[in-house]
Amino acid sequence: MTVPREMPEKWARVRVRGGPEEERRVRANAREYNEKFQYASNCIKTSKYNIVTFLPVNLFEQFQEVANTYFLFLLILQLIPQISSLSWFTTIVPLVLVLTITAVKDATDDYFRHKSDNQVNNRQSQVLIGGVLRQEQWMNVRVGDIIKLENNQFVAQADLLLLSSSEPHGLCYIETAELDGETNMKVRQAIPVTAELRDTSKLALFDGEVVCEPPNNKLDKFGGTLYWKENKYPLSNHNMLLRGCVLRNTEWCFGLVIFAGPDTKLMQNSGRTKFKRTSIDRLMNTLVLWIFGFLVCMGVILAIGNAIWEHEVGVCFQIYLPWDEGVHSAFFSGFLSFWSYIIILNTVVPISLYVSVEVIRLGHSYFINWDKKMYCAKRRTPAEARTTTLNEELGQVEYIFSDKTGTLTQNIMVFSKCSVNGHSYGDMQDVLGHKAELGERPEPVNFSFNPLADPRFQFWDPSLLEAVKLGDPHVHEFFRLLSLCHTVMSEEKSEGELLYKAQSPDEGALVTAARNFGFVFRFRTPKTITVHELGQAITYQLLAILDFNNVRKRMSVIVRCPEGRIRLYCKGADTILLERLHPVNQDLTSVTADHLNEYATEGLRTLVLAYKDLEESYYRDWSERLRWAGSASEAREDRLARLYDEVEHDMMLLGATAIEDKLQQGVPETIAILTLANIKIWVLTGDKQETAVNIGYSCKMLTDDMTEVFVITGHTVLEVREELRKAREKMMDASRSVGNGFSYEEKLSSSKLTSVLEAIAGEYALVINGHSLAHALEADMEVEFLETACACKAVICCRVTPLQKAQVVELVKKYKKAVTLAIGDGANDVNMIKTAHIGVGISGQEGIQAVLASDYSFSQFKFLQRLLLVHGRWSYLRMCKFLCYFFYKNFAFTMVHFWFGFFCGFSAQTVYDQYFITLYNIVYTSLPVLAMGVFDQDVPEQRSMEYPKLYEPGQLNLLFNKREFFICIAQGIYTSVLMFFIPYGVFADATRDDGAQLADYQSFAVTVATSLVIVVSVQIGLDTGFWTAINHFFIWGSLAAYFAILFTMHSDGLFRMFPNQFRFVGNAQNTLAQPTVWLTIALTTVVCIMPVVAFRFLKLDLKPELSDTVRYTQLVRKKQKTQHRCVRRAGRVGSHRSGYAFSHQEGFGELIMSGKNMRLSSLALSSFASRPSTSWIETLWKKKSSEGSGAGSPSGTADKTLKV
């Protein structure tokens, strides 16, 4: 190939070795030439290990955990005889168990990653090699190869330059749902010089060279040049088929691989998988370090005590208590004692803590997987927890970032209403022709007169069809416009069976409506459109298409009618089109505007329709100028825009359309309830602004009651900054005074808000476009944008790229320190899902890329409500209660050794025997706390959904934080003090029944150990809020297991088998046979537990939490229902009328389902719970007693029931 002289010098060196790629040069059918640039291959690898590297790499990763390294260090210490007072098996058994379980889990996960990689890499592709199409594995596709794709095939291999296709002029049609979330069809076209290469023999001789931009993440832009046969041809995004799109309505096409593997634009937008840890995990790591510091302090204190004791007292007893070999001073004895106590006291952080946490998380994950209320029967798709490490974080979410298309909506457009010549059609009507009342469901319009009608289309106003049949010229022209002004492609699978492929769902809905009302679009050619108008085929000559874009917000076609008249048909946004109408339309415009406002309040998507007749001479002149503008090399877009604007003036108004974008079931209710739970929802969509805003109104994120909706559309940094500043100023001005006698400044000073803007009065929303967002996310403006957005109730970001979605999430994570959740269903949402603390994938219409990258997945947005408010809240509650109890019981267990050290000469002697120490966390106390961590709940699931305010403690991190940790530690230390000193004081002077001295080391150890097991068992009984058979079995079973093992270890039979290990025969039986011992155990238990019971009762009475209030109101309601049933039974004598129950329920069902009463009930309960003036229990009892006098009156009972 001869390189043209115009090729820049820098293109001779594309990649600097070791540096970033500056330009890319690709030559077709030249693998050897392209390989010297070392472009990325198409082979993917997501696995981490192989057979050789698994063991060393996995162990290295596991010992990156501080806890595992800590326990390995303890194990090494226990192997040193001079400092170890415990056997090595007390540490190595649980450590090996944890490492093995984790290794098996990691190996299983990596096996499935290997399996997935092999499946993807071995997919087959048709690659042109040596002039012949060959089946080649996907991983062997290289940059510069020519690939053949067929209809409905995913472009899964690479980013391709379209060379030719089966369609005329090198056209091909694609869906880009995996890229931008839009399921509408888009058109791509090969450049004319390659469109002629339609067979493999010509393509095999093609040796053109493409010089283009390096790999990047810009989905909507591509710049390059094709050099071939001494000529150069400009390339744009219109010529590219990106990885992730699907070929539609095109039999085949050929493409040249430009980017492969990680260099493709889809992969450039995917981002790296990030390791996610919960806030509780991060807090636990901090607390473990604190506990380790506390452990060192205790070791130092006891070591100093040992050195002093040995120097002052122990030196006098060297004859029968000599120092160990190698110990020659009291100081060195204290040094060894320090390490001995580190080993003994290490159980303040047992390794079983981490195993138990993983078991609890696994249980919570299974509950999500098994939840039948999150199962979609239509798609046969259950909810799936794809990770086990983030469950409790689901109970702490403050920000939700949601995709729109396929996540909030079904992406199904329905022609709902229209306005034609000042008359509105589309309201449901009864048989008499009057507007149907709410709840009535009349029969849909019968389109049986039209054999080409779409049977799925439904319309409820028969008057519009009557107008068509009566020949109303305005109605005919209205539907004629809808059948002509579009870019829809028609495919006739069989005679009369039409299938429309539209670039947008809106267009498809409008053309389908025209089809059913008798104006059937049949097919098109590049120069004609054929329509069947009420059964008669009419062909219009297509003269020009003035296409839609975000600036114009309208689309027009110019056609020549069969009678020779040239007419322009236009449809577009009302804000744009109404100002381009002829002045004679003023009255009609006023009426139509009223209809548009009515449709908008219903959340419908509206378009205005107009037409204009053109003179032949004017059209010829205008067409010539259009041709010259289209071939201009500079300012081409601006010239075309001016010509379009010129012809689209002084049009005649026809009417307007209103389309409903079908929301997924339950979306408005879910958003309303999540908002009441103090969760902010941001919509990040690649769709256009109008669509996103309409959906915002449909799902009740945006409402007409909002103070103001700010729209940020600036194209420069200065414009965006100014618009954000004005928005903040308006919010501040409107909030100078919040009423009730408090000034704005006073409110700020009394609040704990981190931002001034978060204290504003009124409800605001923010809508920002992608090009404006790009400036807003710059380093010097991101804080201004975030403050403005966080002050708004709703935020909608339109036309955003996948990378921008992730940047918005990262911005909130960076500055707000809040838990974020991202939810989406397409490949364009993958980066956002990976960036957020929690990623949720919707298994919908756009493939499984989002699901594969997610932490949780299900099929409908409404399930998010249950995932957060039920599973998330319960998981957080259970994990917090588990951790509080776990730290309490281990401090109570371990600190007894510390107090004993002051009475044993600081000799590192343990209170308990080594078997009790080994089994305490594995057998005696492990299962009860696991049962609480897996099954506990404060309120039933129905109440969790009914009172969203119950979710707020997780957001505020109230149930487990540093304060709660210190409270648990203090309780554990308090328990350990009583656990040691009460038996110690009793045993000082106690005697047996036979008069012998009771105080001996083994009897004391049995008494303390028994007291400990009973106290912690009673404590977990108090902590358990939801009792199941499993809780009873584990708690009482653990106590039974303790006594069974205790008596077995002190039995005669075990002594005969292992005389050196179990020397104290009969000690447990003798000790526990003494009444004094049992009185000591009872006294210890009462003194340890009673303060806890008293404190909780007073807290429940004086300052109850919302969950306490909810539980108590449920008890009251249950008792009231019982009373009501008794009253009804007594009142049935002499009367068969019992309509009260039905009339009481009537009218409230819709209100409850709408979620409007959730705010009232939640706020009322929360304020009720926080009243300091009187006991809430007394208040409820007063209400209950007053209701007793009115129990015989149904109306009185109803009033009081509603008040509670």
Structure tokens at 930: 């696991």
* Cα dihedral sign, 731-733-736-740: negative
Element housing 1017 (H / E): helix 1001-1023
Task: Determine the straight-line distance between the first and last CA of the chain, rounded to whole angstroms.
Answer: 87
Q: For 867-892, give the secondary structure using H, E and C.
A: HHHHHHHHHHHHHHHHHHHHHHHHHH
- Distance (Å, whole) CA 359 – CA 98: 11
Identify the active-site residue in 159, 180, 403, 1108.
403
Question: Residues 819, 855: contact at Cβ < 8 Å?
Answer: no
Instruction: Give 360-363's long-range contacts (Cβ < 8 A, gap of 24+).
Output: 360/878, 360/879, 360/882, 360/930, 360/933, 360/934, 361/388, 361/389, 361/391, 361/392, 361/875, 361/879, 362/388, 363/933, 363/934
Q: Is 566 helix (H, G, I), strand (E, B) or coil?
A: strand
Distance (Å) of CA 528 to CA 520, 521, 524: 15, 11, 6
* Whole-number Å distance between alpha carbons of 411 and 182: 9
On the 0-12 / 13-18 / 19+ scale of CB atoms within 10 A, 729 is exposed
Residue 1012 burial (C-beta neighbours within 10 Å; 0-12, 13-18, 19+): buried
Q: How far is CA 1070 from CA 980, 992, 1083, in A?
A: 20, 10, 20
Closest CA to 336 of 310, 313, 312: 310
Residues across the chain:
1204
**In whole angstroms, what is the distance from residue 822 CA to residue 274 CA?**
14
The residue behind tokens 């291999």 is: 157
Of 607, 392, 622, 628, the C-alpha closest to 509 is: 607
**1001 neighbors 1075 (Cβ within 8 angstroms):** no
**Known catalytic residue at 506:** no
3-state secondary structure of 128: strand
How far CA 535 is from CA of 415, 511, 525, in Å, comes to 22, 16, 20
Element (H or E) spanning 657, and its range?
strand 652-663
| Beta carbons of 136 and 124 less than 8 angstroms apart | yes
* H-run or E-run covering 136: strand 132-137
State the Cα angle at 64 between 59 and 70, rounded to 5°.
Answer: 95
Q: Which two tokens stand for residue 66?
A: 């501080």
**How far is Cα 884 from Cα 932, in angstroms, rounded to an integer?**
12
CB hemisphere CA count around 60 (13 angstroms): 7
Q: DSSP for 473-509?
A: HHHHHHHHHHHHSS--EEEEEETTEEEEE-SSHHHHH
Alpha carbon distances (Å) from 863 to 500, 840, 1045: 33, 11, 47
H-run or E-run covering 533: strand 528-533
DSSP-derived 3-state class of residue 744? helix
DSSP state of 118: H
User: So which residues are the catalytic ones?
Assistant: 403
